[in-house]
Structure 1
Amino acid sequence: MADYEQRMQPEEGAKAVEKLAEDALAGFKADAKKEYAELVKQYEGASATVGVFGMGSVEVSVMSGEVHINPNQKRKGKGRGVGAISPEALVAIYEGRMTVMDAFHRGEIVVRAESAALHEGYDSFIRNSEAALRSKRLQKTLAQFRKIADV
């Protein structure tokens, strides 16, 4: 796995990841209503810790039909796993220059979860990637991410 520099102070990074996650969530919810509803139904009662190397992480939970971004909070609901991605891989995957599997094998994505949860998460990613790519709001959030992460 590559060495990752701390791109910002931990508190600043955590706030940046929280804001970007909230913006991405709002964008996907608005632009891909059907896919959002299916994901909420699929992951109701679950949570996961997700992060960006060198920046920070947040807890994401699905409770009462809504997705919640919970910074600095312990897991709510049934924990599904922990994952992190490098800023460069996030951008490369979104732009189609790298696949999730390529990033995983290069150590640009690290995930810890039970095997069934890993496969379910990967299948969800593949199933919803087209809707994410079409989202104008997610494109704006990616532009903000590139600027903040200096990618």
Structure 2
Amino acid sequence: MSQDPVHIITIAKVIQTAVAPVFLITGIAATLGVLSNRLARITDRARLLDRKLNNSQDDSLASSLTQEMRALLKRSRCIHIAFSMSVLSALLVCAVVMMMFISHLYTMPLSVTISSCFIGAMILLIGAFLALLAEVFLATRSMRRGMIFKDIQ
């Protein structure tokens, strides 16, 4: 029996093993979409507030707008952190898939490296979700302080 069929079967098993991390990359991509949308909303709101601030003659209104701008800046920092960590996580997952194939093709023992990269990807993803959660907390705190719903009793 030739080695080619055995080699093809083992490559097929490597591909099957690599499918799970590829689904993780898809999930990270969806998270990046959410983060992009949240950042776009923050940016739009900041631009609107900046226009209002530049046209305002009222000191109390300017103070209120400045306070909301500071809150938006904090929120945008959280989104930036979450976005960066998500992208780094996706890159590590891509590296895991690549190393799986390299390990198989060149019979290199990369299991510790692959495991370390995957653990790193999960740590970064956890950090990204925590940063997203912090941004959501900041957004709801702004609402509770009355910046958005101050006229509703």
Q: Which has the higher strand share?
A: 1
Query: What is the TM-score of this pair, normalised by structure 2?
Result: 0.29
Query: What is the TM-score of this pair, normalised by structure 1?
Result: 0.29
Which has the greater radius of gyration? 2
Q: Which has the higher helix share?
A: 2
